Each structure stands twice: as C-alpha cells, then as structure tokens.
A and B are shown apart, each in its own frame.
Chain A
C-alpha cells in the first residue's frame, strides 16, 4: 500500500548562510495492507521528516513514494489533495483547526469532505468522541481551549473518522492516560484488522511492541549518523 523507494531529502537554509543539511539518503520501505510499521531512531534522525515526506508535507528530492497508485514525490498538488481526502490519513502531534469551530464539526469534517451527509457525519463523530471519553458537554465548544490530552484525542477522533486505507500516526499515545491509551491502541488494531497500512512513531515502547509488526530504523539512512 505504501512503498518508499530510495528517497533523499535535504534542507537548504537560504537565510542562514545557505547551509545545506542532508537529512535522508537512500531510504526504502514497504508497508502492506493490514501491517503496522514503527519508525524508530534517535530524536532528530528523521522519523517525522520521513512521515511528512510520505504525506507530501515535505518535498522529496529524489526517489519514489507510492501510496496506492500515486507517487507523492512527483504528484501535482491536486492529486495529493485527492489522495489525502480518500486514501491517506495523518494524525499529527498537534491539533490545527479554524478557531471557533465546534469539536463535533472538527471531527466530522473529513467525512463531510468525502461527501457524507451532515447528519451521518455528526453521528459518526459523536460515536468517536464518546469512545475517546470526550465529555458531551465539550462537543459544542472549540477544541482550541482543551487540555493537551483532550486535544490529542480530538485529533485522533478526526484522523479515524474516515476509514483511510493508509494511515500515518505521529505519537498517537503521547499524552494519554492508561485508559485512553488502551482505547487508542484498540482503534489502531481495528484499523489494521480492516486492512489499513499504518506507519507510526511511538516513543511509548510498550505500545509500539504491542501493535507494530516490525520496526524501521531511520538512522540507517541519516547521512552522518549511519553506523
């Protein structure tokens, strides 16, 4: 479902003496439907960078990144938009929303964007929020004022609202209490069971060992870091 082939990436900081920082060279990775792969490596090794490259958030200098039948590394913006709408989901570490939009609508939005009716989308959002223990009295408030853990659960609800065949998860359990952590792990396991290809970053090693089928050490492909 997700195939990364020989990708390279460097950042050029034009306003800081045009410093060129190579961050990735020759990385290759394949993730099949129903499989969950953990990206591992020290902080700064490029785990998030690789994940952002797969999402099309960072440009890829060379190589291919196939998600379904789209090469993210060379696709036009509108192809990536389409891919993100129906194929590739991403749960980032931070919630980024329009201020003053209710939590319910934030979670329902990915469904509305794919043509689900307003009522059905809101019903699905309510189910997810209930499951993730977001109290009903918060549903009609904007999540911007929520605690870190609540924001993260809203972010996860939003990321799981539509059943993407491919999912990228950046620290999905980072600031959760044990109860909610278990719920999120169960949701990831269910996504695997329905055939989603998942790539995750987990500093929570127990969670990683529980749900990931294998690990991919990014350090191997970090220029200057490889042993």
Chain B
C-alpha cells in the first residue's frame, strides 16, 4: 500500500518567527492522524500549509491523485489545487460559519459542492442532499432552512455533510468539536468515527483536546513552538509519553 499523503520537511515562517518547521510524515489510506499542542504551537499553521490555504516556505506535500499518482500540491497550479479542494479533499473548520454559506439553505450548502463537480440534475442533487442530511442526523424538513436557524452542533454536522458529499479521500479538520457542548461532541465523535470507517477516509485532525484524539486518531503528533516533538501510536503517546512537554500536557488533563 502506498501513502495517500507524503509530507516532507514543511516549514512556514512569519517574518523571523517560526510558524512550523521540519515537519515530515506519511499518511496512509484509512488512517486518522491527530495533531495536538497548545495555542501557538503551529498546529493550525501546519494544517493550513497541508490543505493549501497557506504556502509553506519550504518542503513538499505530495498527494496520491486519482489520475496522475503522487503530485506535489504546493507546486501544482492554482486551478488544480482548487479542484482537489472540491473533490478529493475536504476541510472542516472549527467555526461552521467559515465552512458554510450562511445565507443559502442547508440543501443548497450540500448541493453546491455537488454542482462544483458537475452534478446538474436538480432532483438528483436534492435527493443526494437529503440522503446526506439524514446521515448527519438533520431531518428532511430542515432542508430549506438556512444554517443561521441551526444550533451550533447542527451547523457543524451540516458542514461535515457539505464536505463529505463528494466522497473525498482526505479530510482536514481544525478543532471539529471545539466550542460544542460535551453531549453534542460525543454524538459528533461517533458520527465521525462511523464515516471514517465506512468511507475508508484518511483524516488529519488538529485539536487541543486529548480525549478527542484518543477516540478518533490512530496516530498522534505533538507540537510545541512550531516543532514536532513527539509522534507515535495515539494510546502509546498518551499513556507512555517520552518528551517532557508531552508528559506535562498529559498530566495536566483534569479528571472528570
């Protein structure tokens, strides 16, 4: 099996300051990788570099494209990268309003991604939208409502439906459960786990919540001050952390 994503020596600087530096890893199909670290550790910078939202100053991000095999997404043309962003890639933002069109109906939000990959038949698009809204537990009678009329948890589920409707192979998630009630978080986690398994998705999840990565991620990467300081199997890094900072991070979690 070959990797879906090969990341090599990624670095991003903000002037003289380090955003992230010397990040390399391979991600295989079906694998979920978590990136944890405190605010300012560079985890979001890294995620945005990988997803093509920021241009790194150094390194390569090779993606196994359906048509041409491994391609460096940093050097590919803007239209090609945008096409990937609409088809094989998905990006779930922390704030659903960054990933949704707030003045378009729920069905329209899901349908738009389908139209971007050339779906044209209104009935098909609407049926597909209803199917996906059902999978994220939004009832059909809400299809014509705008996301502004939805709760935070529903908005987040709608964003996930909008992202996954085109059958992506790689999903980037930035704090997908951040800012949600714990009861809503649990439901979302279960939904994400089921989708990852059913669709054989690969995912990269940035979060500061260690409980979330324990349940969702196979592998874990710990960042501090822009550097990757520890990587490994998720439960191994959390139960037998090697680096001083990871030990501090794990031992700082409040017990419920």
**Interface residues in chain A, defined as those with a beta carbon under 8 Å from any beta carbon in chain B:** 11-15, 52, 56-59, 77-78, 80-81, 96, 98-101, 112-113
Is B157 close to A, CB under 8 A?
Answer: no
Complex contacts, A57 vs chain B, CB 8 Å = 233, 235-236, 239-240
Complex contacts, A12 vs chain B, CB 8 Å = 242
Say yes or no: A80-B233 contact (C-beta < 8 A), given A15-B251, A57-B240, A58-B240: yes
Is B174 close to A, CB under 8 A?
Answer: no
Complex contacts, B231 vs chain A, CB 8 Å = 77
In the complex, what residue of chain B is closest to A102 when comparing beta carbons?
B190
Partner of B218, one of A13, A52, A81: A81
Count of chain B residues with a beta carbon within 8 Å of a chain A beta carbon: 27
Is B186 close to A, CB under 8 A?
Answer: yes
- In the bound complex, CA of A157 to CA of B232 (Å): 28
**Interface residues in chain B, defined as those with a beta carbon under 8 Å from any beta carbon in chain A:** 28, 31, 182-183, 186-187, 189-190, 193, 197, 214-215, 218-219, 231-233, 235-236, 239-240, 242-244, 247-248, 251
- In the bound complex, CA of A105 to CA of B154 (Å): 23
Can you give 24 contacting A-B residue pairs, CB < 8 Å?
A11-B240, A12-B242, A13-B247, A14-B243, A14-B244, A52-B240, A57-B233, A57-B236, A57-B239, A58-B239, A58-B240, A59-B232, A59-B242, A77-B219, A77-B232, A78-B31, A81-B31, A81-B233, A96-B214, A98-B186, A98-B215, A99-B182, A100-B183, A100-B186
B196 to chain A, nearest CB (A): 11
- In the bound complex, CA of A164 to CA of B239 (Å): 24
Complex contacts, A112 vs chain B, CB 8 Å = 197
7 smallest CB-CB distances across A and B, nearest first, come from A14-B244, A99-B186, A77-B233, A58-B240, A77-B219, A100-B186, A98-B190
